[in-house]
Copies of this chain bind each other. A is one copy, B any other.
């Protein structure tokens, strides 16, 4: 089955593909707001019907929350699972939108034509690039080049409460050779990027108690230990002068960056000046012997995400507080063990406490880093064909955050996940005036056709 006529058909069918996407965008499937429950059902029904319209055996599957959509089709090549989500973020504040978020429209902008509307990028537009590629392939050749399982979720924007149990209950039906997800973007809005490493997370809250009540600093100041003094002393030691984290054994399991990946990252020409400049900064703050891309993709971090103690209202109060607390999170990479990190951090805090201060801890989540085994041929196959579509060679990249579903696919279904997507940095996902470039949609569909072709071999 040859690729070229599929690409031609995609080009010719683009107006109809956009009409279909607009139908889906008009359904306000906001998963977090119970008022939109029926709309989430409607979006799931729409997807079932759309898959069925080109011969995919599809169904809606109930969950305690919003339904999943599953579809299966047999092909000659390897078996891939494609995951996307049909739910969208809320639209508040509505007054910041230039138009109705659920009345999508093509707009001409100085940077090109865009599809404006909630979900146009995240994730309905991206999800439909895969569906449209499959539709074109089927229409042209009467069959698909791979066996494909379609798997769409309706709770991604509200914490995916039903996902884990659904995966466990339906593991046999869901298992494939490799998973594909289209929910990420082009590197610097230009370079096709396949995310192969995702940082993990360990969240921890520290609550220090000194005196058993708030004290007057005139009466007790000088004699009574202030827990804010202790907490600033401890957390002020979290990093050394070179940005290295001081918790013992913290770097156990942190791998060196492989040379081939380092070379790909160098070739990206990351403009860290612009990246930091966009948020009013200029100096990369991590380990000073690492590059800025390493700092956000392949190195672990420690951040104080919140801290509070004493009087924080207007004016001044000379209180010597009883308690001080902080929320601290660690981004993890490689084989770092979140449970060992937590244990070592707690011991490190406890070792620094003076006799009059006690500590309690609260656990806030622990997930290891995700490191894709790129040995599955799909990874190099995809990387090899994307350059022809986008004019830039594709790279295996990292991601500073976590994408929990990729972790679940690994642990529950034993699959690696290829994360690839066509979003641009200015798509304003989760914000007013979300958009998706027509270029992202069009070339995205063509890209999936190329990837399926390459995976089929």
A interface residues, Cβ below 8 angstroms from B: 199, 201, 203, 205, 210-213, 215-226, 228-229, 231-239, 272, 275-276, 279-286, 292, 295-296, 299-301, 303-312, 315-321, 324-327, 329, 331, 354-356, 364-365, 399-402
Contacts and interface: CB of A to CB of B under 8 A. Distances in A.
Contacts of A235: 228-229, 232, 236
Contact of A222 (B213, B327, B331): B331
B276 A223 contact: yes
A311 B305 CA distance: 6
Nearest to A216: B401
Nearest to A287: B222
Task: Give the most central of A220, A311, A400: most B CB within 10 Å.
Answer: A220
A265 to B, nearest CB: 14
A319 B308 CA distance: 14
Given A306-B309, A306-B311, A310-B305, A220 B316 contact: no
A7 B272 CA distance: 84
5 shortest A-B CB distances, which residue pairs? A218-B401, A236-B236, A212-B280, A306-B310, A222-B295
A218 B320 contact: no
Given A215-B279, A327-B316, A223 B285 contact: yes
Given A296-B222, A306-B311, A320-B305, A236 B239 contact: no
A229 B16 CA distance: 52
Given A220-B400, A295-B223, A306 B283 contact: no
Task: Give the most central of A211, A217, A299, A308: most B CB within 10 Å.
Answer: A217
Given A236-B232, A299-B222, A316-B327, A307 B305 contact: no
6 contacts: A203-B316, A224-B281, A226-B304, A233-B236, A305-B321, A318-B401
Contacts of A316: 203, 205, 305, 327, 329, 364-365
Given A279-B212, A296-B219, A285 B224 contact: yes
A179 to B, nearest CB: 21
Nearest to A400: B218
Nearest to A228: B304
Contacts of A307: 228, 232, 307-310, 312, 324
Given A216-B401, A232-B231, A236-B236, A221 B311 contact: no
A222 B286 CA distance: 5
Given A223-B292, A229-B303, A295-B222, A211 B279 contact: yes
